[in-house]
Amino acid sequence: MKLFILTILLLLSSTSNHFYAACTYTAKQNGDWNDPNTWMKSGCNENVSDIPTHHSIINIPNNRKVTLNVNSNVPYINTHIYVYGQLEFNVGQKLYLDCNSYLEVAIGGKLTGDNHGSKISFCNDWAWEGTEELGFYSIGSNPLPITLNRFELNTVSKGIEIFWSTATEQNNAYFEIMHSNDGQYWDVVEKVKGAGNSQNELRYVSLYNTNESGIHYFKLKQTDYDGKSTESHVKSILFKNSTQALVYPNPANQITNIRFDAAAYRTVQILNTNGIEIERKVNEDETFTLQTSHLEDGIYFIYVDGLFSTKLIVQH
């Protein structure tokens, strides 16, 4: 299992040592830095730029590659960039960061460029000049007292398990687990007390109960004792609700009954051994009767909500 290192962004600014983010930008697909379609923004107003701007948190998740084509020598102010996937510089492209900005390439991440002009300027000095860097690698001083070692999602029988662990915590009041069905609109589904201050690895686990099949999105929101907060990058997982079915009689002749372990508008498919759908029905009761008199003798497969449930044998 890969180790994802995610640093939760806390508080820094050039005048008061407090960081505030105009927006959090997360790469939702491979693409160009200056293409709005590359980014999903959160925690900001609609009128904020659709591409990364000053006072921002920029996340490039694992398995995402963003190509830099920035034609401005104006430094990004108070901007934090976290690379879990790949940040690639086109030939001659340069990224300017002010003294209060920070760039981190996490373990598993990659910073790539060339030796023909690709550079990163930090605090009016060249900090990187085109050589490939693998994580862990950073530019600037890490102002963040909370480091999240792992943030993982797993499907279990009753829903989705959310697991995360911190390496250090300072002034950490609580976490909020945020959930979305579309990656745009979020709800807080649980609040978990933080450790306050800790220099040891701490592990957290929570269960999101659901029977809703589809893609689920999660992120963590961390809040310290003075009320300031920040959010992690977004993770997603495909959840399939597996509903077992009792089929009787089986083998079947003229009819068979299908009984679910719960009733909730189940979609039932009958497939033959070639994987061809013979019949599809939607049912909202715990039991319904399926006519089998018209089916040829043989073995069929019953799928409930898109998942295999059991075999059906038809014998006339």
What residue spans define the domains of the chain? 6-139, 147-239, 245-314
Q: Measured between alpha carbons, how far is residue 241 from residues 1, 173, 187 in Å?
A: 25, 34, 21
User: What was the pLDDT predicted at 145?
Assistant: 57
Q: What is the mean pLDDT of the chain?
A: 81
**What DSSP string describes 214-251?**
EEEEEEEEEEETTS-EEE---EEEEE-----EEEESSS
| pLDDT at 162 > cutoff 90 | yes
Confidence category of residue 19, pLDDT binned at 50, 70, 90: very low
User: What was the pLDDT predicted at 9?
Assistant: 33
| pLDDT at 214 > cutoff 70 | yes
| Residues 128-142, mean pLDDT to the nearest whole number | 84
| pLDDT at 91 > cutoff 90 | no
| Residues 52-69, mean pLDDT to the nearest whole number | 89
User: What was the pLDDT predicted at 14?
Assistant: 31
User: What was the pLDDT predicted at 65?
Assistant: 94
Q: With contact defined as beta carbons under 8 Å apart, do 137 and 108 qualify?
A: no
Which CATH entry fits the domain spanning 245-314: 3.40.50.12280, 3.30.420.40, 2.60.40.1220, 3.40.50.2300? 2.60.40.1220
Q: With contact defined as beta carbons under 8 Å apart, do 194 and 202 qualify?
A: no
Indicate the CATH number for domain 147-239.
Answer: 2.60.40.10
**What is the per-residue pLDDT across 239-295, written as a single tens digit (0 to 9) for each?**
876 556 788 899 999 999 888 766 556 788 888 888 888 888 887 777 888 889 989
**What is the per-residue pLDDT across 167-208, written as a single tens digit (0 to 9) for each?**
777 778 899 999 998 877 899 999 999 988 777 888 999 999
pTM of the model as a whole: 0.47
More confident residue, 3 or 40: 40
The dihedral sign for the CA sequence 248, 252, 256, 262: positive
User: What was the pLDDT predicted at 7?
Assistant: 34
User: What was the pLDDT predicted at 190?
Assistant: 95
Radius of gyration of the chain (CA): 25
Q: Which residues contact 225 (CB under 8 A, 6 or more apart)?
A: 171, 173, 196
Q: Which residue from 181, 178, 2, 184 is spatially nearest to 85, judged by alpha carbons?
A: 2
Least confident of 35-39, 220-224, 305-309: 305-309
User: What was the pLDDT predicted at 286?
Assistant: 77
| Residues 6-17, mean pLDDT to the nearest whole number | 33
User: What was the pLDDT predicted at 4?
Assistant: 32
The two domains 147-239 and 245-314 share their CATH topology (first three levels equal): yes
